[in-house]
Amino acid sequence: MWLFLAFLAVPLIEIALFIQVGGLIGLWPTLGIVILTAILGTFLVKQQGRMALNDLRRSFSELNDPTEQLASGAMILFSGALLLTPGFFTDAVGFALLAPPVRKAVYQYIRKRVTVTRFQMGPTPQPKPHDPRQDRPSDVIEGEFTEVPPGKNPNHPGSGWTRH
């Protein structure tokens, strides 16, 4: 339900802000600000994304828990989508998510509400598949057979595997 409300509220907020800002400064300056924030946001997302990727690589190389770096990278990606979406409200939220203290606060908030049941670093040994044939003695050969009655009919054409 909250997702539906967000999809309903965000466009309404953006439309109201466009009307208010456009009424104060005019159409062209308003469009110029929207384009400028998209260009500036793209530059900042690229810069923050590189830093987050370096932090993630460092975390992997030091065998530390990469959860915070992964969450930070996801928030940077989300902020990029918000900054490329035209609007003042989405730009404000997008720029806020680019600030490391805001990302850390959001991560701490999410971390309190999510329970991790298992975390393991390094390679995990793969279980060997169970082979039921290994449970039997090694001198047993599996197969099917058919009992042949003791006297063979002389008119029998043969199987083709033997000469008669």
Domain boundaries, the chain: 33-113
Over the chain (164 residues), what is each successive 10-residue block's mean pLDDT? 90 93 93 93 93 92 88 94 92 94 94 78 64 60 75 63 62
pLDDT of residue 81: 93
pTM for this entry:
0.66
Q: Is 20 helix (H, G, I), strand (E, B) or coil?
A: helix
pLDDT of residue 12: 94
pLDDT of residue 150: 72
**Quick one: which of 79, 102, 93, 75 has its CA closest to 10?**
93
Residue carrying the six token digits 């902020």? 79
Contact in structure between 10 and 90 (CB atoms under 8 Å): yes
Residue 107 to residue 50: CA distance in whole angstroms: 19
Contact in structure between 85 and 35 (CB atoms under 8 Å): no
- Phi and psi (nearest 5°) for 152? -100, 135
